[in-house]
A = this chain, B = another copy of it.
Amino acid sequence: MPVNSFDNYPMSWKPDKNALKRPYYQSIASLLEHDIKNGFLASGTKLPPQRELADFLDLNFTTITRAYKICEERGLIYAITGSGTFVAPNASRSITISKDKTASLIELGLVSSFEQTNALVKDSIQQVVNKSYFEQLLDYNDPTGIPHQKAAALNWMESFGIHTDQEHLAIVSGAQNALAIALTALFEPGNRIATDLYTYSNFIELSKMFRIQLVPITGDEFGMLPGELDKQCNKVNIHGIFLMPSCNNPTTIMMSDFRKREIAEVIRKHRLILIEEEIHAFMTAGIVSDYQQPMFNLLPEQTIYICCTSKSICSGLRIGYIVYGKAFCEKILQSIFNINVKTSSFNAEIITELILSGKAHEIVLLKKQLVQTANDIYFNNFPFDKNVGHPLSFYRWLPIQRHSDALELETDLQKLGIRAFHSDRFLSGQTPQDKYLRIALSSTNSLDELKVGLRILNEYLN
């Protein structure tokens, strides 16, 4: 019997005692999930401490621990020792970003890749179809890529500073697919991965799906803070870290070379597996003066480096490269076979042809011009923070005051005919004060449409 009556005691969540069935911990978890998903408990709400709820329900407190744990694994809540347990941001809805088929909105949400350049691909496909070995591009051979395709891939990545050989490379179906492969190959449910506080929302969802816990690490203008990472590693058992050093998505922050070395030191010390995704390397290497090298070079044995040709060459062919240390080889290959069997050699050959013929470089040049203009248009509308983040990013990170409710803001914008995403979608952990909008610059049908979209946005925010 509980000693006190809790009727007058403030408790943010009071499950119905009569609804409890055995096993209690599952029953409690279900009730909590229900109440969160149905909006009775808002993001950020502090739940009753384990011992208090246990008292209320007349159970041992570790039974509550287990109930909370289930919900935490589902990404619904998060707990901080000493502080309490809270409802997670994005708990009640999926934040996966994908193309919205309905409505003819001006797309500033999903980051595409200036699809205007796709016409340039046609010739290369023609070349591939006419190749003497065309039929061999349509079978089950070479599941990680045909040697000459891998050679072209190495050639392509050489300019970003990647030096490795064909044994440590596989061709997969895009960056997202590479992440799914890396996560299933190298992590288990319950494992923890450190990420920037704001990170790629599809990575957040992917982790949730595979029951991998994200540990948010704060950062500054040069990227993630090594001290914070070290602190968290000492506190809990962290297995990996996910970074986008050449241009964080969504914040556009580029990690300085000095910071890369500091972070690499912490990663080495704690033997983390580094997943390094370089969506913007082709827009960084040789352009941004501070860019020296990928972190893969600093930690070649413990890094999975992901390079995707979707943003740089052609998104619709779904080709990405995954580079890994020797220790990961077997597990990665296993996972590729399990998830894809293989990526089409035909598609890989088209990308290969584009690279070898020089067409890929032409496309990149064109995209550079487009992204330069798009950024100019953006800064005409929002002339703040011009020196923050990557100068040629495909998207921008706009601080906003007011408009704090994420869903409301996004819905408002849709009513005005534009789609853009609130910063809450990209949160890997607790909610900070500052709010932002991620504005994709590369997804409108034309630069004129981008102008219109940004003007509407500007008017709305003022």
Q: Which of A76-84, A91-99, A285-293, A420-428 contacts B (4 or more CB under 8 A)?
A: A91-99
Q: Which of A9-17, A60-68, A202-210, A370-378 contacts B (4 or more CB under 8 A)?
A: A202-210
Instruction: List which A339-381 residues lie within 8 A (CB) of chain B.
Output: 339-347
- A315 touches B (CB below 8 Å): yes
Contact of A110 among B96, B115, B140, B346 (CB under 8 A): B140
Q: Are B134 and A341 in contact (CB under 8 A)?
A: no
Q: Which residues of B contact A318 (CB under 8 A)?
A: 340-344
Distance of A137 Cα from B119 Cα, bound (Å): 10
- A159 touches B (CB below 8 Å): no
Q: Which of A171-179, A221-229, A321-329 contacts B (4 or more CB under 8 A)?
A: A171-179
Residue of chain B at shortest CB distance from A347: B344
Contact of A115 among B125, B138, B142, B176 (CB under 8 A): B138
Q: Are B316 and A96 in contact (CB under 8 A)?
A: no
Distance of A335 Cα from B134 Cα, bound (Å): 33
Known: A129-B122, A345-B316. A334 touches B94 (CB 8 A): yes
Known: A180-B338, A318-B341, A318-B344. A140 touches B125 (CB 8 A): no
Q: Which residues of B contact A317 (CB under 8 A)?
A: 138, 344, 346
Q: Are B176 and A338 in contact (CB under 8 A)?
A: yes
Interface string of A121-144 (1 = CB under 8 A from B): 110011001000011011111110
Instruction: List which A67-118 residues lie within 8 A (CB) of chain B.
Output: 94, 96-99, 101, 110, 112, 115, 118
Counted per complex, copies of this chain come to 2
- A258 touches B (CB below 8 Å): no
Contact of A140 among B96, B112, B137 (CB under 8 A): B112
Q: Which residues of B contact A121 (CB under 8 A)?
A: 138
A90 to chain B, nearest CB (A): 13
Q: Are A209 and B338 in contact (CB under 8 A)?
A: yes
Distance of A335 Cα from B316 Cα, bound (Å): 19
Q: Which residues of B contact A188 (CB under 8 A)?
A: 211
Distance of A317 Cα from B337 Cα, bound (Å): 16
Q: Which residues of B contact A315 (CB under 8 A)?
A: 138-140
Interchain Cβ contacts under 8 Å between A and B, 9 examples: A98-B140, A122-B134, A125-B129, A129-B129, A173-B173, A173-B343, A189-B189, A202-B341, A318-B341
Given contacts A99-B142, A140-B316, A188-B211, 18 further A-B contacts (CB under 8 A): A98-B342, A99-B342, A115-B139, A121-B138, A125-B129, A126-B129, A173-B173, A174-B341, A176-B337, A176-B339, A177-B340, A189-B211, A206-B338, A206-B339, A316-B345, A318-B343, A318-B344, A344-B347
Which 7 interchain pairs have the tightest Cβ spacing?
A138-B316, A118-B138, A98-B337, A115-B139, A189-B189, A180-B339, A176-B341
